[in-house]
Amino acid sequence: MDADDAREFLELFYTETRPDTPFEQRLREAYDEITATGTYTHTLDELRFGARVAWRNSARCIGRLYWQGLRIRDRRGVSVPAEVAAECTEHLRAATRDGKLRSTITVFAPDRPGRPGPRIHNEQLIRYAGHRNADGAVHGDPRYAEFTERVASMGWRGPNPPGRFDLLPLMISNGDARPELFELPRDAVLEVPLRHPEYGWFSDLRLRWHAVPAISNMPLLIGGVRYPAAPFNGWYLNTEIGARNLADADRYDQLPVIAERMGLDTSSRRTLWPDRALVELVRAVQYSFDAAGVRMADHHTESERFLAHVANEERAGRPCPTDWSWVVPPMSGGLTGVFHRYYDDPDPHARPAFLPPT
Ligand code: ARG
Protein backbone atom coordinates (compact mmCIF):
# COMPACT_ATOMS: atom_id res chain seq x y z
CA MET A 1 0.00 0.00 0.00
CA ASP A 2 0.98 3.61 -0.53
CA ALA A 3 2.14 5.27 2.69
CA ASP A 4 1.08 8.64 1.27
CA ASP A 5 -2.57 7.51 1.35
CA ALA A 6 -2.16 6.76 5.05
CA ARG A 7 -0.58 10.17 5.69
CA GLU A 8 -3.25 12.01 3.76
CA PHE A 9 -6.00 10.30 5.74
CA LEU A 10 -4.32 10.88 9.09
CA GLU A 11 -3.89 14.55 8.19
CA LEU A 12 -7.62 14.81 7.51
CA PHE A 13 -8.41 12.96 10.73
CA TYR A 14 -6.20 15.33 12.73
CA THR A 15 -7.62 18.40 10.98
CA GLU A 16 -11.21 17.52 11.81
CA THR A 17 -10.85 15.83 15.22
CA ARG A 18 -8.65 16.14 18.32
CA PRO A 19 -7.02 12.74 18.93
CA ASP A 20 -4.97 12.20 22.14
CA THR A 21 -1.91 10.83 20.37
CA PRO A 22 0.23 13.58 18.78
CA PHE A 23 0.07 13.55 14.99
CA GLU A 24 3.80 12.92 14.44
CA GLN A 25 3.75 9.94 16.78
CA ARG A 26 0.68 8.39 15.13
CA LEU A 27 2.13 8.92 11.67
CA ARG A 28 5.41 7.25 12.66
CA GLU A 29 3.49 4.27 14.13
CA ALA A 30 1.56 3.86 10.90
CA TYR A 31 4.70 4.14 8.74
CA ASP A 32 6.53 1.60 10.93
CA GLU A 33 3.65 -0.84 10.66
CA ILE A 34 3.52 -0.38 6.89
CA THR A 35 7.26 -1.03 6.62
CA ALA A 36 6.98 -4.16 8.75
CA THR A 37 3.71 -5.65 7.44
CA GLY A 38 2.76 -3.86 4.22
CA THR A 39 -0.32 -2.34 5.84
CA TYR A 40 -1.44 -0.64 9.07
CA THR A 41 -4.26 -0.86 11.56
CA HIS A 42 -6.77 1.94 12.07
CA THR A 43 -7.68 2.88 15.59
CA LEU A 44 -11.41 2.57 16.29
CA ASP A 45 -11.73 6.38 16.18
CA GLU A 46 -10.00 6.48 12.80
CA LEU A 47 -12.22 3.73 11.46
CA ARG A 48 -15.37 5.48 12.68
CA PHE A 49 -14.25 8.82 11.24
CA GLY A 50 -13.20 7.19 7.97
CA ALA A 51 -16.53 5.42 7.49
CA ARG A 52 -18.47 8.61 8.29
CA VAL A 53 -16.43 10.67 5.83
CA ALA A 54 -16.86 7.97 3.18
CA TRP A 55 -20.60 8.53 3.61
CA ARG A 56 -20.11 12.31 3.50
CA ASN A 57 -18.28 11.85 0.20
CA SER A 58 -21.05 9.77 -1.39
CA ALA A 59 -22.16 12.10 -4.17
CA ARG A 60 -25.30 10.10 -4.92
CA CYS A 61 -26.74 10.16 -1.40
CA ILE A 62 -29.45 12.67 -0.48
CA GLY A 63 -29.40 11.54 3.17
CA ARG A 64 -25.98 12.86 4.09
CA LEU A 65 -27.16 15.36 6.73
CA TYR A 66 -26.83 12.49 9.20
CA TRP A 67 -23.30 11.43 8.32
CA GLN A 68 -22.00 11.99 11.85
CA GLY A 69 -24.61 9.62 13.26
CA LEU A 70 -23.31 6.48 11.55
CA ARG A 71 -22.83 3.67 14.08
CA ILE A 72 -19.86 1.36 13.67
CA ARG A 73 -19.75 -2.33 14.36
CA ASP A 74 -16.04 -3.16 14.39
CA ARG A 75 -15.73 -6.75 13.21
CA ARG A 76 -12.28 -6.52 11.67
CA GLY A 77 -11.39 -9.83 13.28
CA VAL A 78 -14.07 -11.65 11.27
CA SER A 79 -13.40 -13.17 7.84
CA VAL A 80 -14.77 -16.74 7.90
CA PRO A 81 -17.92 -16.72 5.69
CA ALA A 82 -20.21 -18.40 8.24
CA GLU A 83 -19.17 -15.83 10.85
CA VAL A 84 -19.55 -12.98 8.38
CA ALA A 85 -23.10 -14.21 7.65
CA ALA A 86 -23.94 -14.40 11.36
CA GLU A 87 -22.63 -10.85 11.84
CA CYS A 88 -24.70 -9.62 8.89
CA THR A 89 -27.76 -11.03 10.63
CA GLU A 90 -26.76 -9.26 13.84
CA HIS A 91 -26.22 -6.09 11.84
CA LEU A 92 -29.80 -6.28 10.59
CA ARG A 93 -31.17 -6.80 14.07
CA ALA A 94 -29.12 -3.92 15.52
CA ALA A 95 -30.08 -1.61 12.65
CA THR A 96 -33.78 -2.51 12.49
CA ARG A 97 -34.84 -2.23 16.14
CA ASP A 98 -38.47 -2.99 15.37
CA GLY A 99 -38.70 -0.08 12.94
CA LYS A 100 -36.64 2.53 14.78
CA LEU A 101 -33.93 2.22 12.14
CA ARG A 102 -30.37 3.33 12.82
CA SER A 103 -27.66 4.00 10.24
CA THR A 104 -25.12 1.28 10.85
CA ILE A 105 -22.00 -0.13 9.23
CA THR A 106 -20.26 -3.42 10.03
CA VAL A 107 -16.61 -3.45 9.04
CA PHE A 108 -15.09 -6.87 8.39
CA ALA A 109 -11.44 -7.83 7.86
CA PRO A 110 -9.50 -5.58 5.45
CA ASP A 111 -7.42 -6.76 2.53
CA ARG A 112 -3.88 -7.48 3.67
CA PRO A 113 -0.83 -8.24 1.53
CA GLY A 114 -1.38 -11.73 0.11
CA ARG A 115 -4.58 -12.12 2.13
CA PRO A 116 -7.72 -10.50 0.76
CA GLY A 117 -10.59 -9.87 3.17
CA PRO A 118 -14.02 -11.50 2.94
CA ARG A 119 -16.49 -10.50 0.28
CA ILE A 120 -20.28 -10.26 0.25
CA HIS A 121 -21.47 -10.82 -3.32
CA ASN A 122 -25.05 -9.61 -2.77
CA GLU A 123 -25.77 -6.02 -3.76
CA GLN A 124 -27.76 -5.62 -0.55
CA LEU A 125 -28.16 -7.84 2.52
CA ILE A 126 -31.90 -8.06 1.87
CA ARG A 127 -33.13 -8.54 -1.71
CA TYR A 128 -35.87 -10.48 -3.42
CA ALA A 129 -35.27 -13.27 -5.90
CA GLY A 130 -36.23 -12.99 -9.56
CA HIS A 131 -37.29 -16.39 -10.86
CA ARG A 132 -37.01 -16.63 -14.62
CA ASN A 133 -39.71 -18.78 -16.24
CA ALA A 134 -39.28 -20.85 -19.39
CA ASP A 135 -40.87 -18.03 -21.42
CA GLY A 136 -38.26 -15.56 -20.13
CA ALA A 137 -40.67 -13.66 -17.86
CA VAL A 138 -39.42 -13.02 -14.34
CA HIS A 139 -41.43 -13.78 -11.20
CA GLY A 140 -40.14 -11.48 -8.47
CA ASP A 141 -37.49 -8.78 -8.86
CA PRO A 142 -36.05 -8.87 -12.39
CA ARG A 143 -33.01 -6.93 -11.18
CA TYR A 144 -31.86 -10.08 -9.39
CA ALA A 145 -32.74 -12.66 -12.04
CA GLU A 146 -29.08 -13.26 -12.84
CA PHE A 147 -28.05 -13.41 -9.18
CA THR A 148 -30.95 -15.79 -8.53
CA GLU A 149 -29.74 -18.06 -11.33
CA ARG A 150 -26.28 -17.99 -9.84
CA VAL A 151 -27.40 -19.02 -6.35
CA ALA A 152 -29.69 -21.65 -7.88
CA SER A 153 -26.71 -23.13 -9.73
CA MET A 154 -24.96 -23.28 -6.35
CA GLY A 155 -27.80 -25.34 -4.94
CA TRP A 156 -30.25 -22.74 -3.56
CA ARG A 157 -33.80 -23.95 -3.87
CA GLY A 158 -35.91 -21.20 -2.30
CA PRO A 159 -39.57 -21.50 -1.40
CA ASN A 160 -41.82 -23.81 -3.38
CA PRO A 161 -43.78 -22.52 -5.20
CA PRO A 162 -41.54 -19.54 -5.95
CA GLY A 163 -42.96 -16.19 -4.82
CA ARG A 164 -42.47 -12.58 -5.81
CA PHE A 165 -40.79 -11.64 -2.53
CA ASP A 166 -38.49 -14.56 -1.70
CA LEU A 167 -35.47 -13.57 0.37
CA LEU A 168 -32.22 -14.31 -1.40
CA PRO A 169 -29.48 -16.05 0.57
CA LEU A 170 -26.21 -14.29 1.38
CA MET A 171 -23.34 -15.25 -0.92
CA ILE A 172 -20.06 -14.79 0.92
CA SER A 173 -16.50 -15.77 0.15
CA ASN A 174 -13.26 -15.53 2.05
CA GLY A 175 -11.15 -13.54 -0.38
CA ASP A 176 -11.11 -15.26 -3.75
CA ALA A 177 -12.20 -18.64 -2.37
CA ARG A 178 -15.38 -20.28 -3.61
CA PRO A 179 -18.46 -18.42 -2.30
CA GLU A 180 -20.83 -20.07 0.15
CA LEU A 181 -24.56 -19.48 0.69
CA PHE A 182 -26.29 -18.60 3.94
CA GLU A 183 -30.02 -18.19 4.48
CA LEU A 184 -31.08 -15.06 6.41
CA PRO A 185 -33.22 -15.94 9.43
CA ARG A 186 -36.75 -14.70 8.68
CA ASP A 187 -37.03 -12.95 12.02
CA ALA A 188 -34.02 -10.76 11.21
CA VAL A 189 -35.85 -9.28 8.21
CA LEU A 190 -38.58 -6.77 8.96
CA GLU A 191 -41.03 -6.34 6.08
CA VAL A 192 -44.01 -4.06 5.54
CA PRO A 193 -47.12 -5.29 3.67
CA LEU A 194 -48.45 -2.44 1.55
CA ARG A 195 -51.93 -0.96 1.76
CA HIS A 196 -53.47 2.30 0.66
CA PRO A 197 -55.21 4.83 2.95
CA GLU A 198 -58.31 4.88 0.68
CA TYR A 199 -58.18 2.08 -1.89
CA GLY A 200 -59.22 -1.11 -0.12
CA TRP A 201 -58.27 -3.20 -3.15
CA PHE A 202 -54.64 -2.13 -2.84
CA SER A 203 -53.80 -4.86 -0.30
CA ASP A 204 -55.09 -7.46 -2.79
CA LEU A 205 -52.02 -6.69 -4.89
CA ARG A 206 -50.03 -8.36 -2.10
CA LEU A 207 -47.12 -5.97 -2.42
CA ARG A 208 -44.57 -5.63 0.34
CA TRP A 209 -41.07 -4.35 0.89
CA HIS A 210 -38.28 -4.82 3.38
CA ALA A 211 -37.63 -2.11 5.97
CA VAL A 212 -33.84 -1.87 5.71
CA PRO A 213 -31.78 -0.96 2.65
CA ALA A 214 -28.27 -2.33 3.37
CA ILE A 215 -25.68 -1.99 0.62
CA SER A 216 -23.19 -4.82 0.91
CA ASN A 217 -21.00 -4.85 -2.20
CA MET A 218 -19.19 -1.51 -2.02
CA PRO A 219 -15.65 -1.73 -0.64
CA LEU A 220 -14.76 0.92 1.97
CA LEU A 221 -11.45 2.64 1.32
CA ILE A 222 -9.84 4.54 4.19
CA GLY A 223 -6.29 5.88 4.09
CA GLY A 224 -5.08 3.25 1.64
CA VAL A 225 -6.70 0.35 3.52
CA ARG A 226 -9.44 -1.46 1.64
CA TYR A 227 -12.27 -3.15 3.53
CA PRO A 228 -14.00 -5.26 0.87
CA ALA A 229 -16.89 -6.24 3.15
CA ALA A 230 -18.41 -3.28 4.99
CA PRO A 231 -22.20 -3.48 4.66
CA PHE A 232 -23.98 -0.26 5.63
CA ASN A 233 -27.59 0.79 5.93
CA GLY A 234 -29.70 3.88 6.30
CA TRP A 235 -33.47 3.99 6.04
CA TYR A 236 -35.66 4.22 2.99
CA LEU A 237 -36.92 7.25 1.17
CA ASN A 238 -40.53 6.63 0.04
CA THR A 239 -39.74 7.13 -3.66
CA GLU A 240 -36.98 4.48 -3.74
CA ILE A 241 -39.62 1.82 -3.26
CA GLY A 242 -42.73 3.51 -4.66
CA ALA A 243 -41.29 5.32 -7.65
CA ARG A 244 -38.52 2.87 -8.60
CA ASN A 245 -38.49 -0.67 -7.18
CA LEU A 246 -42.21 -1.27 -7.60
CA ALA A 247 -42.78 1.13 -10.49
CA ASP A 248 -39.94 0.74 -12.98
CA ALA A 249 -40.97 -1.25 -16.04
CA ASP A 250 -37.88 -3.45 -15.63
CA ARG A 251 -38.58 -4.02 -11.92
CA TYR A 252 -42.01 -4.84 -10.43
CA ASP A 253 -43.83 -2.79 -13.09
CA GLN A 254 -46.94 -2.14 -10.99
CA LEU A 255 -48.22 1.08 -12.59
CA PRO A 256 -50.38 -0.57 -15.27
CA VAL A 257 -51.89 -2.86 -12.63
CA ILE A 258 -52.66 0.04 -10.29
CA ALA A 259 -53.99 2.28 -13.07
CA GLU A 260 -56.36 -0.44 -14.15
CA ARG A 261 -57.67 -0.93 -10.59
CA MET A 262 -58.11 2.83 -10.32
CA GLY A 263 -60.20 2.73 -13.48
CA LEU A 264 -57.96 5.23 -15.31
CA ASP A 265 -58.04 5.78 -19.04
CA THR A 266 -54.87 4.02 -20.14
CA SER A 267 -55.46 4.45 -23.87
CA SER A 268 -52.83 7.18 -24.01
CA ARG A 269 -50.08 8.31 -21.67
CA ARG A 270 -51.31 11.83 -22.38
CA THR A 271 -54.04 11.17 -19.80
CA LEU A 272 -51.11 10.99 -17.33
CA TRP A 273 -52.31 7.64 -16.04
CA PRO A 274 -48.75 6.53 -15.16
CA ASP A 275 -48.22 9.72 -13.14
CA ARG A 276 -51.52 9.34 -11.30
CA ALA A 277 -50.89 5.68 -10.49
CA LEU A 278 -47.37 6.56 -9.33
CA VAL A 279 -48.61 9.08 -6.77
CA GLU A 280 -50.99 6.52 -5.27
CA LEU A 281 -48.28 3.85 -5.15
CA VAL A 282 -45.86 6.14 -3.32
CA ARG A 283 -48.70 7.19 -1.00
CA ALA A 284 -49.37 3.54 -0.18
CA VAL A 285 -45.69 2.93 0.55
CA GLN A 286 -45.46 5.95 2.86
CA TYR A 287 -48.76 5.22 4.56
CA SER A 288 -47.89 1.56 5.19
CA PHE A 289 -44.42 2.25 6.58
CA ASP A 290 -45.79 5.03 8.79
CA ALA A 291 -48.63 2.82 10.05
CA ALA A 292 -46.16 0.00 10.77
CA GLY A 293 -43.91 2.36 12.72
CA VAL A 294 -41.00 1.83 10.35
CA ARG A 295 -38.77 4.84 9.82
CA MET A 296 -39.05 6.21 6.29
CA ALA A 297 -38.27 9.61 4.80
CA ASP A 298 -40.36 11.53 2.28
CA HIS A 299 -38.80 13.33 -0.64
CA HIS A 300 -39.98 16.81 0.35
CA THR A 301 -38.45 16.67 3.82
CA GLU A 302 -35.30 14.89 2.70
CA SER A 303 -34.72 17.49 0.03
CA GLU A 304 -34.81 20.26 2.66
CA ARG A 305 -32.48 18.31 4.92
CA PHE A 306 -30.02 17.74 2.13
CA LEU A 307 -29.89 21.46 1.35
CA ALA A 308 -29.24 22.06 5.07
CA HIS A 309 -26.35 19.60 4.77
CA VAL A 310 -24.92 21.42 1.74
CA ALA A 311 -25.09 24.67 3.73
CA ASN A 312 -23.36 23.00 6.70
CA GLU A 313 -20.56 21.78 4.48
CA GLU A 314 -20.15 25.20 2.96
CA ARG A 315 -19.86 26.73 6.45
CA ALA A 316 -17.24 24.10 7.29
CA GLY A 317 -15.29 25.21 4.22
CA ARG A 318 -15.75 21.91 2.41
CA PRO A 319 -17.08 21.18 -1.03
CA CYS A 320 -20.10 18.87 -1.21
CA PRO A 321 -19.70 16.82 -4.38
CA THR A 322 -23.15 15.81 -5.53
CA ASP A 323 -24.66 13.91 -8.43
CA TRP A 324 -27.77 15.93 -9.36
CA SER A 325 -29.34 13.03 -11.24
CA TRP A 326 -29.24 10.87 -8.11
CA VAL A 327 -30.33 13.31 -5.40
CA VAL A 328 -33.31 14.66 -7.33
CA PRO A 329 -36.20 12.32 -6.50
CA PRO A 330 -37.70 10.19 -9.30
CA MET A 331 -41.08 11.89 -8.96
CA SER A 332 -42.13 15.53 -8.58
CA GLY A 333 -38.52 16.64 -8.99
CA GLY A 334 -39.40 20.28 -9.51
CA LEU A 335 -41.43 20.34 -6.29
CA THR A 336 -38.25 19.77 -4.29
CA GLY A 337 -35.50 22.30 -3.59
CA VAL A 338 -32.70 19.93 -4.63
CA PHE A 339 -33.91 20.21 -8.24
CA HIS A 340 -33.41 23.96 -8.49
CA ARG A 341 -29.65 24.31 -8.21
CA TYR A 342 -26.25 23.07 -9.26
CA TYR A 343 -23.70 21.29 -7.08
CA ASP A 344 -19.97 20.67 -6.88
CA ASP A 345 -19.12 17.93 -9.35
CA PRO A 346 -18.74 14.41 -7.97
CA ASP A 347 -15.07 13.64 -7.34
CA PRO A 348 -14.21 10.00 -8.03
CA HIS A 349 -10.92 10.48 -6.19
CA ALA A 350 -12.44 11.81 -2.96
CA ARG A 351 -11.25 9.77 0.04
CA PRO A 352 -12.29 8.02 2.24
CA ALA A 353 -14.90 6.50 -0.07
CA PHE A 354 -17.26 3.68 -0.74
CA LEU A 355 -15.96 2.28 -4.01
CA PRO A 356 -18.01 1.01 -6.94
CA PRO A 357 -18.58 -2.75 -6.67
CA THR A 358 -15.97 -4.87 -8.45
N1 ARG B 1 -32.42 2.43 -3.82
C2 ARG B 1 -32.01 1.25 -3.12
C3 ARG B 1 -33.21 0.34 -2.94
O4 ARG B 1 -34.29 0.68 -3.20
C5 ARG B 1 -31.39 1.57 -1.77
C6 ARG B 1 -30.21 2.53 -1.79
C7 ARG B 1 -29.86 3.08 -0.43
N8 ARG B 1 -30.98 3.81 0.11
C9 ARG B 1 -31.01 4.39 1.34
N10 ARG B 1 -32.09 4.99 1.70
N11 ARG B 1 -29.99 4.30 2.17
O12 ARG B 1 -33.12 -0.74 -2.45
Going by alpha carbons, the residue nearest to atom 11 of ligand 1 is 234
Choice among 55, 67, 209, 235 that is catalytic: 235
Q: Is ligand 1 within 6 A of the CB of residue 240?
A: yes
Express as a percent the part of the chain with pLDDT over 70.
Answer: 100
The pLDDT-based confidence of 276 (bands split at 50, 70, 90) is very high
Compute the average pLDDT of residues 304-315. Answer: 98
Q: What is the mean pLDDT of the chain?
A: 98
55 in active site: no
Compute the average pLDDT of residues 94-115. Answer: 98
Going by alpha carbons, the residue nearest to atom 10 of ligand 1 is 236
Choice among 64, 73, 76, 119 that is catalytic: 64
Predicted TM-score of the model (pTM):
0.98
Q: Give the H or E element holding residue 89.
A: helix 81-96
Residue 286's pLDDT is 98
Q: Is ligand 1 within 6 A of the CB of residue 237?
A: yes
Choice among 240, 280, 302, 313 that is catalytic: 240
Segment 119-136, tens digit of pLDDT: 999 999 999 999 999 999
Residue 114's pLDDT is 96
Q: Is ligand 1 within 6 A of the CB of residue 141?
A: no
Segment 311-330, tens digit of pLDDT: 999 999 999 999 999 999 99
End-to-end CA distance of the chain: 19
Residues 6 or more apart in contact with residue 343 via CB below 8 angstroms: 310, 320, 321, 322, 323, 324, 327
The pLDDT-based confidence of 299 (bands split at 50, 70, 90) is very high
Compute the average pLDDT of residues 242-259. Answer: 98
**Positive or negative, the Cα torsion across 18, 55, 302, 346?**
positive
Residue 27's pLDDT is 98
Q: Is ligand 1 within 6 A of the CB of residue 239?
A: no
Residue 88's pLDDT is 99
Segment 189-230, tens digit of pLDDT: 999 999 999 999 999 999 999 999 999 999 999 999 999 999
Residue 151's pLDDT is 98
Q: Give the H or E element holding residue 192.
A: strand 191-193
Express as a percent the part of the chain with pLDDT over 90.
Answer: 99
Compute the average pLDDT of residues 173-201. Answer: 98
Helices H / strands E in the chain, number of each: 10, 16
Residue 314's pLDDT is 98
The answer to whether the peptide bond before residue 352 is cis (omega within 30 degrees of 0) is yes
Residue 246's pLDDT is 99
Burial 236-267 (b: 16+ CB within 10 A, else e): bbbbbbbbbbbbeeebbebbeebbebeebeee
